[in-house]
Amino acid sequence: MNVNYDRVCRLCLSSRCELLPIFPTTSSDESDPPVLALKIKDCVSVQISENDDLPTNVCRKCMDNVNNWHIFKAVCERSQNKLLSLTNKDSSQLEELNIKSEPQSDGAYDD
């Protein structure tokens, strides 16, 4: 199978759509990693490098999916952290309540 890497989406292999570069041709800072490549790795665990001799473009649909998934993942992570934070607060309050609700002694001391 011959694949023209310049004309297929890196993620879905579609060749029938507009392709967008994964790696921007200009960057404000050359040391900045490409944002889309990082999102792809974060969302679908596909490592993409400019030098891996594989396609360096994605179709609009895949780019939208990656961006939406990245947003969804961030929302889920924030929600999880909030729930864990609330659970920890509830546990602390419960421990305080348990301490306060311990049965009182009858006033007799063991000496």
pLDDT tens-digit profile of 53-62? Answer: 999 999 999 9
Residue 45 lies in a domain: yes
Asked if 58 and 11 touch (Cβ cutoff 8 Å), the reply is: yes
Residue 102 lies in a domain: no
Q: Which residues are annotated as a binding site?
A: 9, 12, 59, 62
**For the chain, how many structural domains are there in total?**
1
Residue 100 lies in a domain: no
Q: Each residue of 8-48: pLDDT tens digit?
A: 999 999 999 999 999 987 765 555 667 999 999 999 999 99
Residue 103 lies in a domain: no
Whole-number pLDDT of residue 72: 96
Q: Which residues are annotated as a binding site for Zn(2+)?
A: 9, 12, 59, 62
Residue 43 sits in a domain of what CATH number? 3.40.1800.20
